[in-house]
Amino acid sequence: MESRAKALGHPIHQVLIVFPLGLLVTGVVFDVIRLFTGGAGFALAAAYVIAAGVVGGVIAGVFGLVDWLAVPAGTRARRIGAYHGIGNVVVLLLFAGSWLLRAGAVDWTPGAWALVLSFAGVVLGGVTGWLGGELVDRLGVGVHDGANLDAPSSLTHHRAA
């Protein structure tokens, strides 16, 4: 099935997700650099990119929801899409929590809980990103109307029909 939300012929959700994904991962990279170097500027940079990533994730999620609502009920694609979407809401909540904990700190320096939340967000984001890839690459959601919305998991090594 093709995406229901397109701009210039391309699915909007698939175009937008690269921004929050990259920003949130960059926030964690800045945190790791700060842990090793002690550079206070990295804490502030991490806070900025995490905030932008959360906002971008909400925007991308709106378009993902539009596409998911068009997926027929009872299909594997609908189920995987639900896991993908709910998982990404949790990712955004983890990063938003991390940002809120930083906001109350001196110079935006994250404490242990802020780091735990953002690191957990990156791990869960990897899982939900894989699920998104399964939707697009294996099941063809958002790509073409001839998609096989019940193709087996790519982990089974069974061919998609």
Contacts 24+ apart (CB under 8 A), 39-42: 40/107, 40/109
Residue 28's alpha-carbon distances to 14, 18, 55, 101, in angstroms, are 22, 16, 16, 15
pLDDT above 60: residue 161: no
Question: What are the pLDDT digits (tens) for 72-93?
Answer: 999 998 999 999 999 999 999 9
Sign of CA dihedral 9, 10, 13, 19: negative
Under DSSP, is residue 74 helix (H, G, I), strand (E, B) or coil? Answer: coil
User: pTM, whole model, 2 decimals?
Assistant: 0.88
Residue 130 lies in a domain: yes
Question: What are the pLDDT digits (tens) for 91-135?
Answer: 999 999 999 999 988 889 999 999 999 999 999 999 999 999 998
- Tell me the percentage of the chain whose pLDDT exceeds 90: 65
Residue 21 lies in a domain: yes
Please compute the mean of the pLDDT values over residues 41-54 and round it to a whole number. 97
Residue 161 lies in a domain: no
Rounded Cα distance, 66 and 45, in Å: 32
Residue 147 lies in a domain: yes
Domain ranges, residue 14: 6-156
Residue 1 lies in a domain: no
Question: What are the pLDDT digits (tens) for 124-154?
Answer: 999 999 999 998 888 777 766 766 667 777 6
Q: Which two tokens stand for residue 80?
A: 């995987």
Residue 46 lies in a domain: yes
**Number of folded domains that form the chain:** 1
Residue 81 lies in a domain: yes
